[in-house]
Amino acid sequence: MYTQSYRVLGKNTERKDGISKVTGTEKFTSDLNFSRMLHVRLLRSVHPHAIIKKIDTSEAIKLGAIVITPDDLPETQFCPRLVSTPEATYKDWNVLSRKALYVGDPIAAVAAESEEIAQLALESIKVEYEVLPSFFDVEKASVEDAVLLHNMIEINDVKVIPERNVACALDINEGDVESAFIESDLILERSFRSNRRYHLQLETKSVLVKPEVDGGVSVWSTTQTLHNTRLLLHEIFGLSMGKIRVYKVPLGGSFGSSIQVNMVVPIAVAIALKTRRPVKLTLTREEDLRDHVSYNMVFKIKIGAKKDGTLVAGHLDAMLDLGSHQIQAYSLLGCMAGWWVSLYKLKAISYHSVGVYTNKTPSCAFRGYGNPQVTWMVEQIMDEIAENLKIDPLEIRLKNYVGLGDVFWGQGPSVKSVIQSCGVEEILKTGAEKIGWYNRPKNNSQTGRYRRGVGLARGYHTSSAGSPVPGTVIDFSGCILKVNEDGTIDYITALMDQGGGTLEAHAKIIAEELNLPLENINIITADTSTTVYDVCTHASRGIYSGGGAALKVAKQLKDKIRQFAARILDAEASALKFRVDLNRMQGVVYAEGVQNREVTLKEIMYIARHKNWGSVAAVDSYRQPACPPHFTGYFVELLVDTWTGKIILKKVVAGADIGTVINPKLAEGQIHGGFAQGLSMAVLEEMNYDPISGDLTNRGYLTDYKVPYSQDLLDNDNFDVFFVETYEPTGPYGAKGIGEGALNPVAGAIANAVYNAIGLRFYDLPITRDKILKYLREDKNEYQ
């Protein structure tokens, strides 16, 4: 393995934040407080679509509460997600809504001395509504005479009327699709519908805002992006960016739910600016359930193939249920095309996609930004093609996958690069051997109560949104490194660690490059005023892009250290070497082959300070020149209980190509976590809406909104994770990402295993017990 030649990379080490996390001393946003702090509660619409005609706050004010309504706020229209260039940014949000677009839409906010008083004041407010027709299905919402949810949205400073509630659309054509279908020996057409899912991150949305004496604000919030939070507050309130300071706070998970700036942030800032007192707003779990969801997608796909299994042509119609607002759906339409065409080679493709507004909670990225939904669809249809052509499903994947040397659409047609590292073949072949692929049951061949199924699916995700030529996605990182007087290093970055150990990986990269003990790298808690810009922790870019920036700056720091050491050792700087001395816990710079011609980093800094040479520090930004795919593959063995419809896991084999593995145990943990979320997507989760009230029917957390428990999952003896050896030349020490690819293929593997067990294929998610029993009863061959 490549990692065998490294000192700390690829080794399991104690996490720098491990003790604080396991002892409960780590402070998250909801743990923070200030004296004289006001507590905020949100007044939410009880209707899915209604004009707010009047808000009577008189009783709330009598209770001593401070209330803000849309009349107290700037009319600025904005988009809370700032990762796209202006021409791809669609703005349809206001801080508080004058027209409610879903049940739970914030229409006013109340601040008081305690949460109890704030809640009482909230309940005393009277609202007069003009109720409008509401839509909970994309097809019904986009008919010709449907009432518009948004009368005006803004794109690149241009006002636009969204016709038929279509918020955005994208069409792509490459090659002669009509001729390619004529060449095909087999054509399959299928329709799919994915489910809406809640992120279920450990930490609900929270924000603490402190007004400053200069008229600015300090902000602590749950976020994946410090600098974009500051940018949006500047855009909405017109404050100088130098007067907005967003502090880094540990993030209790996110999975994409905080790529956008959470709406609790500008609401809390508005109250802090009005009251000139610190304010805190933390969502309850039930409120958080109505704050963000994954995208529901409707697909109609047509695929053509040759008799030998070669894929030829493809057409995909895709419709997104955006919910009530855009969180950059236009970018998602492009990504979905990329997820599709970068799985398997197609001679010609056509793609038509639309994003449609409905009266539901706004949809946002969820660990894969549409990739899990697209991969679920594609991996099922690949199995169907194989079955129709009497080809093994594994072989048809090996024949058609997009791999080494192929062009890869990382984040859609505007973000393309060539694949330079690929472990797909080894993932599939090793996984097949470990699961006993060629001994799996024949499709639809079993009788009896319990039926065994084995299924596979493969997938990938980008590592960042970089490319040789930048497209419509902003993606660069930066950091600061400085050497302290004792020879330790301070690492300062705005990049957010979502809890998976991203910054730990950066520290290892820095320690490896500078030949220092890992303990000597200090990860500094910083803010927007003490860091350079980082776009956001998304697109599995944490190690690839953020680690790439850390490596770039570490190399610059290394050159500066060499210059100081050369003056001390009277040696040529370029000839000096670095090594680590663990006995002294120091980095050492030396002239190779010359006895006693060496100096520790601590000694260098001591001499430099006393001779007035100055400090050693470096700062820079970095955009990666590619977005290399990290590949994953899952082989799942399960049982289907035909009496109850229950799916019982028996064994999982998961393979991944993530380049050089920086943190082995943490990377393995990503695979386990991704599988749990993929299982939940496949068999449990769905956010159902009451067509009368417009509210969720399963609105109780863990009572009637179900996710897997620990007993539904497998222990390590039955969950086999392996990493294949590749080296990504554009990545820091050959590393790529892992976060999103850990989830993307899971639902497809489970769906294929269910089909292998009972001979029934499901084209809408989730595959619930009720659905299994219903389809089994309709199967004429059942219970023989």
Helix, strand, coil % in the chain, rounded to nearest 5: 30, 25, 40
- Which residues make Cβ contacts (< 8 Å) with residue 508, sequence separation at least 6? 8, 9, 13, 518, 662, 663
Lookup: tokens for 638:
């399960």
For 578-623, give the DSSP string.
EEEETTTTEEEEEETTSTT-EEEHHHHHHHHHHTT----EEEEEE-
Contact 84, 472 (CB under 8 A): yes
Q: At what angle do helices 746-758 and 769-778 cross, to 10 degrees?
A: 30
For residue 454, give every residue at least 6 positions away whose Cβ sits within 8 Å of its Cβ, in sequence order, or none: 435, 436, 437, 440, 441, 635, 636, 637, 638, 753, 756
Q: What is the mean pLDDT of residues 682-690?
A: 93
Quote the pLDDT of residue 467. Answer: 84
Average pLDDT over residues 654-677: 96
Of 325, 317, 328, 329, the residue nearest 358 (C-alpha): 325
Amino acid at 640: V
Find residue 346's DSSP bridge partners: none
CA separation for the pair 386, 309 (Å, rounded): 7
- Residue 334 near residue 170 (C-beta atoms within 8 A): yes
Lowest mean pLDDT among 31-35, 402-406, 531-535, 696-700: 696-700
The distance between the two most distant Cα atoms of the chain, rounded to a whole number of Å, is 90
Could you tell me where the DSSP H helices lie in 276-392?
285-289, 329-341, 371-389
Across the range 763-778, mean pLDDT stands at 94
pLDDT tens per residue, range 411-439: 888 888 899 999 999 999 999 999 999 99
| Beta bridge pairs of residue 527 | 247
What are φ and ψ of residue 235, in 5° steps?
-65, -40
Q: Give, for 716, the enclosing helix (H) or strand (E).
A: none
404-417: average pLDDT: 88
Answer whether residue 736 shows pLDDT above 50: yes
* DSSP strands (E only) in 311-449: 311-323, 348-357, 407-409, 416-418
Are 510 and 550 in contact, with CB atoms under 8 Å apart? yes
Predicted confidence band at 3 (pLDDT cuts at 50, 70, 90)?
Answer: low
According to the model, what pLDDT value does residue 2 have? 53
pLDDT for 195-214, tens place per residue? 999 999 999 999 999 999 99
Q: Using the 8-state DSSP alphabet, how is residue 96 labeled? A: S
DSSP 507-571: HHHHHHHHT--GGGEEE---BTTSS-----S-TT-IIIIIHHHHHHHHHHHHHHHHHHHHHHHTS
Give the pLDDT mean for 708-723: 93
- Confidence at residue 434, expressed as pLDDT on a 0 to 100 scale: 98
Q: Rounded CA gap, 316 and 343, in Å?
A: 14
d(CA 228, CA 156): 17
- Cβ of 631: how many Cβ atoms within 10 Å? 30
Is residue 470 over pLDDT 50? yes
Q: Which amino acid is present at 722?
A: F
- Summarised one tens digit per residue, pLDDT across range 128-142 is 999 999 999 998 998
**Comparing C-alpha atoms, which of 449, 404, 464 is closest to residue 726?**
404
Closest CA to 489 of 513, 453, 470: 513
Assess contact for 175 and 347: CB atoms under 8 A. Answer: yes
- How, if at all, do strands 586-591 and 576-581 pair? antiparallel
Number of CB atoms found within 10 A of residue 349's CB: 18
Q: Is the peptide bond before 766 cis (omega within 30 degrees of 0)?
A: yes
CA angle 584, 585, 591 (to 5 degrees): 75
d(CA 624, CA 159): 34
Q: Which has more pLDDT, 112 or 782?
A: 112
* Closest listed residue to residue 655, CA positions, set 375, 460, 391, 373: 460
Q: Which two tokens stand for residue 691?
A: 């067509």
The torsion defined by the Cα of 376, 380, 382 and 384, in degrees rounded to 10, comes to -170
Radius of gyration of the chain (CA): 27
- Predicted confidence at residue 367, as pLDDT, reads 94
Separation between Cα atoms, residue 462 and residue 343, nearest integer Å: 12
Look up residue 459 and give its amino acid. Answer: G
What integer pLDDT is reported at residue 700 of this predicted model? Answer: 65
CA distance 255 to 540: 10
Question: pLDDT tens digits, residue range 518-547?
Answer: 999 999 999 999 999 999 999 999 999 999
Question: What is the per-residue burial (b if ≥16 Cβ within 10 Å, else e) of 133-152?
Answer: ebbbebeebbeeeeeebbee
pLDDT range class, residue 783, cuts 50, 70, 90: very low
- Closest residue by Cα to residue 408 from 332, 369, 368, 461: 461
DSSP symbol at 469 = S
Torsion over CA of 580, 581, 585 and 586, rounded to 10 degrees?
Answer: -60
Q: Pick from 292, 283, 199: which is nearest to 29 by CA? A: 283
| Overall average pLDDT of the 436-443 stretch | 94
Query: What is the C-alpha to C-alpha distance for residues 224 and 82, in angstroms, rounded to an integer?
Result: 11
pLDDT confidence bin for 780, thresholds 50/70/90: very low
Mean pLDDT of the chain: 94
Band the pLDDT of 441: cuts 50, 70, 90. very high
Q: How far apart are the first and last CA of the chain?
A: 52
Mean pLDDT of 281-291: 93
How far apart (Å, rounded) are the C-alpha atoms in residues 281 and 179? 58
pLDDT at 779 (0 to 100): 62
Q: Say if CB 238 and CB 74 are below 8 A apart.
A: yes
708/700 Cα distance (integer angstroms):
15
Rounded to an integer, the average pLDDT of 130-158 is: 91
Residue 444: predicted pLDDT: 81
One-letter identity of residue 161: I
Pairing of strands 153-155, 158-160: antiparallel
pTM metric for this prediction: 0.95
- In 71-152, DSSP assigns E strands to 90-91, 99-100, 106-112, 126-131
> Is the model's pLDDT at 445 over the cut of 90?
no
